Structure 1
Amino acid sequence: MAIIRGRLMGLDMSTLAKQFKTSKSVIWATLNTPNQSKATGRPSTTSPGVDRSIFRIRKKNHFLKSTGIKSEL
């Protein structure tokens, strides 16, 4: 965020690189990287309520295998 803010204030890349003690290529890559705030990976197949139930079952009997947890659900 500080690099982006510095660029918006009008600082050039070499000044930013000196300020953050890094190379200009790192500054350039930071400024040109798209926003990666979106969630990545496979979506969850269980709801938060089912997740809580699984944790509760697992806490009662930590030797229970996944097939046993599935049968209890």
Structure 2
Amino acid sequence: MTRTRPRTNVEFIVDLMEFSAHGALIQAFVLQALTQYAQKVAAANPEALDTNLVSGHAWHGCALEVQRKLSQHLADSARKV
């Protein structure tokens, strides 16, 4: 089947997480990458993150949200084991 539109970011991430040549290991890689980048951004001064496209405060807020949600997700996953 020929794709008539580009994949959305969500579709891309789902494809990456579910159909990797490296199997489920890719999921750990993606979560680790999110963790490390969120830590770096959360530790930065929000004003230093300002760009012409994105408010540094908003970018910083995204990092804090990712940290909070990852922490909760990992805690929930640990309780299931």
Q: TM-score, normalization: structure 2?
A: 0.27
State which structure, 1 or 2, has the greater radius of gyration over its C-alpha atoms: 1
Of Structure 1 and Structure 2, the greater helix share is in 2
Q: TM-score, normalization: structure 1?
A: 0.29
